[in-house]
Amino acid sequence: MKIILNIILFFLSYCNIYSQTISAINQPVSLLNKENTSNSFTAVSIGIGAFLYVINPIIIYENKSVYAGLTKEISMGFGKFGEHRFAFEYSFIFSGNISNQLRLSYKYDLLFKENIKPSHMLQGSKALSLGAGYFANFSKTGVFPELTFGYSLRNDKILIFPHVKIRHTFMFKKQDTDITDISFGIILGFANPFNDVKINRND
């Protein structure tokens, strides 16, 4: 339990660092600047962000055992900000036998920043995502609720979402054990593929 709590604290710190890093990236950098420590920190943060953009670690608790793995989620959103999202996630779990897990889900994103309007520019806001979906690993199936918190960068077409996610999967068969998992990284999403959101500003 202490391990999971430490992971959660690390994830929340990571989301905060990522949001600060994004602001730093948008500032011009001088090659003559002697603040090498600050620049190095930014470079490391970008490197970590790039790694998590491709690979998302996941920790699973199942049948009184803890397993580690890799997972990746891709979502398609609808609405002014793509806040209604349908997602597909694949997880590769390292255990006694390598487990492949698939999840299909629906999520709704609650943005903390007020007065956000549709824009062609990326806009940042802390976000809480509520979701539920279907689970399968080719030997058992189930359903799950999930809760995701992170820093959302999005416009009317793209979503970049550094986050921490926790969920519990209830199996359909009584003999199958339930699964609790926690993961973090960056969700990649797309939005409104079949229609253009009306934008009245010159963004």
Q: One digit per residue, pLDDT tens: the chain, 203 residues?
A: 444 444 444 444 444 444 444 444 444 333 344 445 555 556 555 656 555 567 899 999 998 999 999 999 999 999 888 899 999 999 999 876 668 999 999 999 999 988 777 777 888 899 999 999 999 998 899 999 999 999 999 887 888 999 999 999 999 999 999 999 999 999 988 887 776 666 555 44
Query: What pLDDT is stored for residue 117 in this prediction?
Result: 75
Query: What pLDDT is stored for residue 24 in this prediction?
Result: 42
pTM: 0.72
| Long-range residue pairs from 100-103, CB within 8 A, at least 24 positions apart, any chain | 100/137, 100/138, 101/71, 101/135, 101/136, 101/137, 102/135, 102/136, 102/137, 103/133, 103/134, 103/135, 103/136, 103/144
C-alpha–C-alpha distance, residues 21 and 45, integer Å: 7
Q: Which 3-state string (H, E, C) describes 53-65?
A: HHCEEEEEEECCE
Is 61 in contact with 180 (CB distance < 8 Å)? yes
Q: How many CB atoms lie within 10 A of CB 46?
A: 15
- The CATH code that applies to domain 2-191 is 2.40.160
Is 160 in contact with 186 (CB distance < 8 Å)? yes
Extents of the domains making up the chain: 2-191
